Chain A
Amino acid sequence: MVTSPISTSNKHLLPEAHEQAQSQLRSEAILRTVIESEPECIKLLDRNGTLLQMNPAGLAMIEADSFATVQGQCIYPLIDPEHRLAFEQLTAKVFEGDSGSLIFKITGFKGTGRWLETRAVPLRDGPEILALLSITRDITEHKQAQQALAESEERFRATFEQAAVGLAHIGLEGQWLMVNQKLCDIIGYTREELLTLTFQQITHPEDLAADLVNVQRLLSGEVSTFAMEKRYFHKHGTAIWINLTGSLVRGEFGEPKYFIAVIEDITKRKYAEQALRESEAFNRQILDSSGDCIKVLDAEGRLVYLNQSGQCLLEIDNQLDVIGKRWTDFWYSEEHRLACEAVTVALAGGQGRFTGFCPTAKGTPRWWDVQINPMEGEDASRRLVSISRDITESKLAEENLRQVTDALELRVVERTADLLDANQQLQLELVERLRAEDALERLGRQNELILNAAGEGIVGLDLQGRVTFINPTGARVLGYTVDELLGRPLHKVTHRSQTVQVIYDLTSYCIYASLQDGKVRSLVDDVFIRKDDVRFPVEYVSTPILEKDQTVGAVITFRDVTERQVVQRLKDEFISVVSHELRTPLTSIRGALGILAGGVLGPLPEKGQRMLDIAVNNTDRLVRLINDILDIERMESGKATLHKQTCDTMSLVHQSLDVMRPLAEQAGVSLSVDCPSCKLLADPDRVIQTLTNLLSNAIKFSPRGGAVSVRVECHDAHLLVQVDDEGRGIPADKLESIFERFGQVDATDSRNRGGTGLGLAICRSIVQQHGGRIWAESTGHGSTFSFTLPILEYTHSLVCFA
């Protein structure tokens, strides 16, 4: 609707101006149309703010249904009180002839708030100002957007500042553009200081490369964000571990603008992690460096962990083969029961412990001392720790010792019997030689003392298994007197109450088996019952007593193995007794017999001389036997060390031949040698001992007129020495066993040929200590003993040590 003042002015137009008026009317119509359809508010106000005219867009803004309802009203009440004065001032200004603009807020008739921007100009008619003409735009949306932006920026700033993590904007060159207080706190710089630095300057050099790679990946668009753990240097110089999350902000056209970094201080966590790792590594190291087999079992007894030593000891290639398996299933028979018991005890909070035999995964026999404890810690009842110690060596050592002791005792008894025989003959013929006889008796007493003082039970059995002899120790261990046991069957005495649980098959009982087939047997895990019904674990060896190849009984040596340590002490004492106490009377015996036999006190009858020679020879053999036993004990216990030096083969062989020549001449055996000169690094005394032992055997077993030859071949890395004889040869099944202690082909050899039964065992020890090998071959007519020694040439060792 067009304003009336305009039309009013038109009423006064003159006719000559009609055309002009017509034209004006047309332009007025155009103007009206424009105003009506204008999307912005166009209004006229008088100087008091009364609405004179308003187009539909304006009416919509103020929420008026029609112009009629608002015509002549003052619009000031619609204006927000805050802006009302400014609007009134603008109005006044316009009526003074100026123009102006204002942003203000109104509330429409229907209550809607709007932000408006208005431009007001005076509407003049000549000098008179008729009205205020304003064009007003609704800027509510713009205002809201602006406000939202401001709010968002405020929120961002607050978030940025109050964040619990370090936040930063970083320029493309790495300079810090904006940082929050938390970040400053983390790295110790003030905001101002930090803004002069780049992230490269405070990054740990070891972490920089990785960081730069990540930055490149962001820039290239390969990733939109990355996270990494890295170190910054604190202002004080210490390294701080942080977790960095980086992303890149790009501009409207995709161009990189700056990086956003989220920085979290993880130093404490890192240290905690490291400490945990170290502690774990430390524990693992302790577990792995332990020589024992350490296992962790779950409540069902299944293996959940096995340390490295355990894997080695058990010869397990792959841990996974055993993890998850029931530990008790690794044990058999009696040990299985003991293992189950131990697990039960440990699950109840106690310590389970037992000693038992369990072969490795590859079948190597091993004995173990096993302890099982509940694991300490939160889950105490859920886990068990089992620590098994490999006690195979000490078991074997005990076994060896027992065999040596048994054999020695048997031989001492035999030798003593020889000496006593000779002694009786002497008594008949040489009554005046009382001193010598005295000495022999002393030796007999000494041996009896040793037998009685032995820490093991020694029982003699007849073919029916009845006790024919028992030493006091044996009787004491069983809780009887010697007399109570004589004549009673050992099996019934020692196993009497077991018949309820286990029906022993007499034929499978090892002592009786020994009696039947004449073989030495040992059992390490039997249980005997004392007179007072107390059961105790024993080990025993059953050695048949042979007379002319017929078994006439057996000697059983048994021991209460709960006193294992006593054995070690006894062993040392025994060695010391042998080396001194036994030699001292032997010195007297040998000296006295030597003087008599040498005829220094005058000639003797022929038979008397013969008897004395026997006594001298047997004394010498006893001395050799003691020496050999000491020798092999020292070598096998590692007490004897090799004194290696550069030697020449020719010299070694000729020295050995020189020692053996008298024996060979006496036996009518010829010696020949084929030996090149060759240097080697070895203990000359020990090599000569080996060679003389082999030569002595070869000579002893050669018939008169036979030949013994020594052949030496020098190869690249080793030396081969062979001793050939023309003796009776060695059965194929004895070629190995002759190197065992007392492993002679024929048990009577030691008596008939003057050997000790230990020579070849000593040779084997010496050769093995040198890193060589020894073996025997036989064709039935004659034997060849060969051994190798590594040639560790002197020049080689010089190069090595240079």
Chain B
Amino acid sequence: MPSKRVLVVDDEADIREVIQMCLELVEGWDVLLAASGNEGLMSAQSEQPDAVLLDVMMPEMDGVATFKQLQANRETRQIPVLLLTAKVQPTDRQRFAELGVAGVITKPFDPLTLTAQIKALLQW
């Protein structure tokens, strides 16, 4: 499998770092980091990653708004997006699915199986 480039968008620096280490060490993927929705939008457009891991609860522009902007942009529309969320209500899951995201990963996650989860959701 050729190496993947994954953009991680999360306002929490520690979580960004944990995910980065996890994806790099376990699968050897390239990891791009963004600390806000806006940074994520710019990075997605310029870097064209293979997937975006997007936190839902962020200040200013939250994950759902960021996802909608990614969808609205012709150049980022095709990039699959996985939402990271601490919210686990069935109604939230349904709402996210209706938005058209590629999948939802619940926080906290097990770092050793995180890449397996991503691969299963994106069918890599």
Contact = CB atoms under 8 A, between A and B. Distances in A.
Contacts of A583: 86, 107-108
A587 interface: yes
Given A439-B14, A579-B86, A591-B19, A601 B108 contact: no
Contacts of A591: 15, 18-19, 22, 108-109, 111
A590 B86 contact: no
Contact of A595 (B86, B107, B111): B111
A623 B106 CA distance: 11
B118 to A, nearest CB: 14
B2 interface: no
Contacts of B25: 595, 600-601
B88 interface: yes
A619 B110 CA distance: 11
A152 B26 CA distance: 127
A588 B19 CA distance: 9
A598 interface: yes
Given A587-B86, A588-B12, A643-B90, A595 B18 contact: yes
A580 B86 contact: yes
A592 B20 CA distance: 11
B108 A598 contact: no
B15 A590 contact: no
A584 interface: yes
A584 B90 contact: no
A742 to B, nearest CB: 22
Contacts of B109: 587, 590-591
A627 B88 contact: yes
Interface string B73-93: 000000000000011111000
B21 A587 contact: no
A513 B75 CA distance: 71
Interface in B103-122: 107-112
Contacts of B22: 591, 594-595, 600
Nearest to B57: A580
B112 A685 contact: no
A437 to B, nearest CB: 13
Contact of B110 (A439, A594, A600, A627): A594
Interface in A117-175: none
A439 B15 CA distance: 11
A623 B109 CA distance: 10
Contacts of B18: 587-588, 591-592, 595
A439 B88 CA distance: 23
**SS of A interface (majority):** helix
Contact of B107 (A587, A594, A598, A634): A587
A586 interface: yes
Most buried by A among B14, B25, B26, B112: B14
Nearest to B22: A595
Interface string A667-690: 000000000000000000100000
Contact of A590 (B26, B57, B87, B108): B108
Nearest to B56: A580
A418 B109 CA distance: 21
A145 B88 CA distance: 111
Given A580-B57, A588-B12, A600-B26, A619 B87 contact: no
Chain B contact patch, size range: 20 to 34
B6 to A, nearest CB: 15
A23 B57 CA distance: 158
Contacts of A584: 12, 15, 57, 86, 107
Contacts of A586: 107-108
Contacts of A627: 88
Interface in B22-40: 22, 25-26
A652 to B, nearest CB: 17
A501 to B, nearest CB: 52
Contacts of A587: 12, 15, 18, 86, 107-109
Most buried by B among A439, A588, A589, A634: A588
B88 A594 contact: no
B14 A590 contact: no
Most buried by B among A439, A592, A627: A592
Contacts of A619: 108
B14 A685 contact: no
Contacts of A623: 108
Contacts of B111: 590-592, 594-595, 598, 600
Nearest to B14: A588
B17 to A, nearest CB: 8
Contacts of A580: 57, 86-87
Contacts of B110: 590, 594
Contacts of A592: 14, 18, 111
A587 B87 CA distance: 13
A588 B15 contact: yes
Contacts of B112: 594-595, 598, 600
Contacts of A598: 111-112
Nearest to A597: B112
Most buried by A among B19, B87, B108, B109: B108
A39 to B, nearest CB: 121
A588 B17 CA distance: 9
Interface in A722-768: none
A227 B108 CA distance: 87
A566 to B, nearest CB: 25
Contacts of B88: 627
Contacts of A601: 25
A408 B107 CA distance: 21
A601 B110 CA distance: 16
Given A439-B14, A587-B15, A623-B108, A579 B90 contact: no
Nearest to B25: A600
Interface in A50-72: none
Contacts of A594: 22, 110-112
A623 B26 CA distance: 24
Most buried by B among A586, A587, A589, A600: A587
A588 B108 CA distance: 8
Interface string A567-600: 0000000000001100111111111101100101
Interface string A634-664: 1000000001000000000000000000000
A627 B15 CA distance: 20
A643 B15 CA distance: 34
A584 B89 CA distance: 17
A580 B107 CA distance: 10
Nearest to A594: B111
B26 to A, nearest CB: 6
B96 to A, nearest CB: 16
B21 A595 contact: yes
A685 B19 CA distance: 30
Interface string A280-316: 0000000000000000000000000000000000000
A52 to B, nearest CB: 136
Nearest to A582: B86
A439 B13 CA distance: 12
A627 B89 CA distance: 10
Nearest to B84: A587
25 contacts: A439-B14, A579-B86, A580-B57, A580-B86, A584-B107, A586-B107, A587-B18, A587-B86, A587-B107, A589-B108, A590-B108, A590-B110, A591-B18, A591-B19, A591-B108, A594-B111, A594-B112, A595-B21, A595-B111, A595-B112, A598-B112, A600-B112, A601-B25, A634-B89, A685-B90
Given A591-B15, A623-B108, 9 more contacts: A439-B14, A580-B87, A583-B107, A584-B57, A587-B15, A589-B108, A594-B22, A594-B110, A598-B112
Interface of A: 439, 579-580, 583-592, 594-595, 598, 600-601, 619, 623, 627, 634, 643, 685
Interface of B: 12, 14-15, 18-19, 21-22, 25-26, 57, 86-90, 107-112
Task: Name the 9 nearest CB pairs between A and B, nearest first.
Answer: A591-B18, A588-B14, A594-B111, A583-B86, A590-B108, A587-B108, A598-B112, A587-B107, A600-B25
